[in-house]
Each structure stands twice: as C-alpha cells, then as structure tokens.
A and B are shown apart, each in its own frame.
Chain A
Amino acid sequence: MPVRIAALTRQHRPLLKGFQNQHASLVEYLQRYALRHAEKDLLARTFLAIDRTAGGERIAGYFTLATASVERRSVSAMEALDRLPQFPIPAVLLARLAVDDRAQGQGLGRFLFEEALGLTIELARTGPVAFRLFVTDAIDGAAVRFYERFGLVRLADGYPCRMVLDLKPLVGG
C-alpha cells in the first residue's frame, strides 16, 4: 500500500514516537508541539506521510503549514520599498518539512514539498483570504539547495536560512 497523506490528529499519537531524523528539533516539533499547535492552539497544521509496512504503520515524513505576516524590523526609509507591496505582507509559512532518516533519498521530500505547495496554491486561488509569499526557514545547506531547486530564494546567509517564493505568478494574479 502506498504512502498516504493525512492531517495530524490525536489518533496518530502512537505513531509519533517512532519518527527519526538527524535534526533533533524536527523530531521534537513533531512529538511535542505539532499536535498542540494543530488542535489546541490552532497555530499550524501538520500533515503526515504514513506508510504501511510489514511492522504496521509508520510516519515516513511530515510537513507543517502556518500563516505568517512578513514585516520590517526597522522603519527607516528605503528605496526598495517602492518596489514592494505594503508591509505587512501576508504569507504561508512552510514551518517544517522532514523525512525519516530511514526513508530518505527516495523522493518523499519532493513529494511532501509539492503537497505543501499544492495546498498553498489551492488556498491562494480559491480560499477566502489572499497572501503573496510562500516562506520557509531552511535548516542547513542541504535544505537550502533542495528549496533552491524549486525556485525559492534566500533572503539571508546564516542558518536557519529564510527563503521565499513569490506566489503571484503561480496563482494567476
């Protein structure tokens, strides 16, 4: 049976502890915060890639989406501001994307990214609200290269590295 995508609910709780990733923060988010953010705080929604194996169901990967508002830290005048929409700019934040270490290198990360982008574009096209940017914070150099392939551009040089994609051409605005 192929991988299926499902929004995280408390029914998935027994599966969470089996997830493994080289970045402890990505494991910690899934096991400690994701359900709370989805069901209690309504801050973000997490989607799981669930694989049925001989040993039962496993979480092969996940991604988390949230809304965000992109603002400026300073209020000083800037020439670039003339070329930008007025701040704050509404955005969808790909807050997390991770694949279990034991299932990496088989295209699941790309599939999850496409799923996240697809949901975002659908919401931007048909949802009741508008937003302009798709934003993520790449955790390391490998993540930056992964997102750059899909046209996301780095806004900073350190890590986590903030990256953006302009949604306007994708939603036909």
Chain B
Amino acid sequence: MSRFQAQTNAVIEEELDDLRERLGLRANQRADLLREIASLASWVVRQAEAGRSIEARRGRDVEALGNPLLDRLRERRTAGVAGRIALRDSEVERLAAVLDRGFSPTPALRKALSRLAATKRRPPKLRWRDDAV
C-alpha cells in the first residue's frame, strides 16, 4: 500500500467513525453505517441523474450541494448527447427481436424513403400562429 493511499484511508476511517458516532451507531455497527451511507448516496445520485439539484434550506438560508461528479451527471442528463447507450437485459431482448424480424417498413417509412429518393423535396410552407393573430 502506498503512503498516499494509507493516509487517505486513515482520513476516511476517521470520517466514518465520526459519522457513526453522530448517527448514534456503536463501534460494531460498521456494516449498518455503510448501508445507510450507500442508501443516502444512491438517493443523491438518482436525483442528479434525473437532472435535479439538491439544496438545504432553513428560512431564507439556502445551501446547494456542489460536487463535480454530480454536476457531470446532471449535465449529462440535461445536455444528453450520450456517446454510450447502456441497455438493460429487457431492452437487449427487445433489440434482438427488432433485428430478427424481416424488412417490413411502415407506410410512413415507405413514404419517407420515396420522398428522400425524389430529387425535388420541399419543406412545408409555414404559417406561424402568432402571425395569424
């Protein structure tokens, strides 16, 4: 174990002990402490993934939870141009069914393809609703 790692671990141990005491847990309840921390952290991460920010409020005092990892998660949600799309097993099953079936385009897709093949393809002429008022 490197010296840096040992120091980091010691700091974390101290913080965990402090938290355990403040939460009223005994020294032999280390697993309970970690379980609580994991459940709190997972709630926080879920909120960030949903694009929400977390604030502590008392009266007019507001303190926002700031963390670069959470900011990145939140930004990923709002900006959402994902380079990597990770599918759950149920989604993989559906994808397999999509790729399995033969080519049977819907009428709208058939029309879209024929319009795309046409040399002259015109966008619609728009009438803006605020112009009409």
Q: Which residue of B lies closest to A44 (CB)?
A: B81
Q: Are B87 and A114 in contact (CB under 8 A)?
A: no
Q: Give a binary string over B102-133; 1 marks a CB under 8 Å from any A CB, 0 the rest.
A: 01011011001101100001111111111100
Least Cβ–Cβ distance between B35 and chain A, in angstroms: 23
Counted as pairs of residues, one from A and one from B, with CB atoms less than 8 Å apart, the total is 153
Q: How many of A's residues come within 8 Å of B, CB to CB? A: 69
B99 interfacial contact with A, CB 8 Å: yes
Q: Known interface pairs A83-B96, A93-B81. Does A121 touch B87 (Cβ–Cβ under 8 Å)?
A: no
Q: Are A73 and B85 in contact (CB under 8 A)?
A: no
* Interface band, chain B: 35 or more
Q: Which residues of A contact B128 (CB under 8 A)?
A: 51, 53, 58, 100, 102-103
Q: Which residues of A contact B82 (CB under 8 A)?
A: 66, 68, 93, 95
Least Cβ–Cβ distance between A82 and chain B, in angstroms: 8
Least Cβ–Cβ distance between B121 and chain A, in angstroms: 8
Least Cβ–Cβ distance between A74 and chain B, in angstroms: 6
Least Cβ–Cβ distance between B17 and chain A, in angstroms: 35
B90 interfacial contact with A, CB 8 Å: yes
